[in-house]
Amino acid sequence: MKQFTLLSLFTALIFTSAIIISGCTKEGPQGPAGTDGTDGTAGCVKCHDDSQNIYAASVQWEASTHATGGNFERNAASCGACHTSQGFLQRIANGTMEADGTVENPAPINCYACHQIHETYTEEDWAFTASGPVEFWIDGTVADMGKANLCAQCHQSRVPDPIPVPGGGDVEITSIRYGPHHGPQGNMLAGSGGYEVEGSLGYNSSLHTELVENGCVTCHMADAYGAQAGGHTMGMSYIYHGHAVVNDAGCVACHEGEDIDEKVEEAKADIDVLLADLKGLLIEQGVLDSSDYAITGTMTSNQAGAIFNYQFVREDRSGGTHNFKYAKALLTNSIESIN
């Protein structure tokens, strides 16, 4: 990424003053005298200062999957709404699930997607582009995850066709990609949006749902470990002496003295067994293949729901950490419902 230079600051300043001046002449009566150059840059310097905050965030972001994932080429209206910076801003402005159209010159999710950069040219511009409670697309559930409401706008289930209804009749599955799509972490953390078929476990959430005030941000954006984890890398683990280690900076406030890696591994081990059992059953019943794609055709709503839950927990990718109780109940009850 190009570095910020004084020359470009100066150029931008001339450009913004030009806009302000031309604005005045258009609006008739002359307002009070404008601010001079020194005052004009005061707002800029609040952010473009020597604390190197922007530089550090940029280095972290550059190493993140938001910058490197490459999937911003998914720029059709329905995909660009989450996969491109511009498409996301369009759909938030419109309150729709799609971008205005195919996004030209698509940009990956960057500073401008999440912060209101250069709107007022003051520090207020660190404000997020989306901040209120999220209303999830799949079921209209509303959740408030503080700063992570921003994340959950994109990290949520898409709307599958059909939406599986517990106790419904047979359904026709026409897409091998049947499921919630890749990033349903928001729904998982909120503890909703799964196929809640009746079974031996109730649908309760782990205490993370209620207690982790800023959701994703508390854990994934805790103090950075270089450019591998935390901060704007949003990564959860880093390599230390050849081993992957969980960045526990956001956990210690609650898990003081606990072995976090062990806890995460334990949760994962339990969830992996359930995922394998459910997958085995779905393959046996001819509705899923070994590469995790649905086998299209008519099936019972419990089978479709079981495929959905399988993909929901698998694509959540936290191995149970996000919401252990909910993930466990979805898998356990699904296994019972098709067994």
Interactions with ligand HEC, residue window 288-317 (CB under 6 A): 317
Query: In angstroms, what is the minimal distance from the CB of 285 to ligand HEC?
Result: 25
- Tally of CA atoms within 13 A in the half-sphere of 30 that contains its CB: 4
Return the range that interacts with ligand HEC (CB under 6 A); candidates 27-35, 180-188, 294-302, 328-336. Answer: 180-188
Whichever of 264 and 338 has its CB closer to ligand HEC, that residue is 264
Whichever of 26 and 243 has its CB closer to ligand HEC, that residue is 243
Return the range that interacts with ligand HEC (CB under 6 A); candidates 164-172, 230-238, 281-289, 302-310. Answer: 230-238
Q: Compute the distance between CA of residue 69 and CA of residue 83 in angstroms, rounded to an integer.
A: 10
Q: How many residues bind ligand HEC (CB under 6 A)?
A: 93
Report whether 294 contacts 287 (CB < 8 A): yes
Token representation of residue 48: 């473009």
Of 83, 320, 334, 69, the residue nearest 185 (C-alpha): 320
Residue with tokens 């898990």: 255
Query: In angstroms, what is the minimal distance from the CB of 56 to ligand HEC?
Result: 8
Residue with tokens 């901040």: 131
Whichever of 45 and 276 has its CB closer to ligand HEC, that residue is 45
Report whether 298 contacts 171 (CB < 8 A): yes
Whichever of 294 and 338 has its CB closer to ligand HEC, that residue is 294
- Tell me which residues in 10-49 interact with ligand HEC (CB under 6 A): 12-13, 16, 43-44, 46-48
Instruction: Give the nearest residue (CB) to ligand HEC.
Output: 69
Applying CB under 6 A, among 185, 301, 309, 333 the residue interacting with ligand HEC is 185
Return the range that interacts with ligand HEC (CB under 6 A); candidates 19-27, 165-173, 251-259, 288-296. Answer: 251-259
Q: Compute the distance between CA of residue 85 and CA of residue 196 in angstroms, rounded to an integer.
A: 34
Report whether 333 contacts 197 (CB < 8 A): yes
Residue with tokens 């009749």: 169
Answer yes or no whether residue 70 interacts with ligand HEC by CB under 6 A.
Answer: yes
CA 121 to chain centroid: 27
Query: In angstroms, what is the minimal distance from the CB of 123 to ligand HEC?
Result: 6
- Tell me which residues in 186-215 interact with ligand HEC (CB under 6 A): 186, 189, 206-208, 211-212, 215
Token representation of residue 286: 């001819």
Other C-beta atoms closer than 10 Å to the C-beta of 55 total 14
Residue with tokens 């806890």: 263
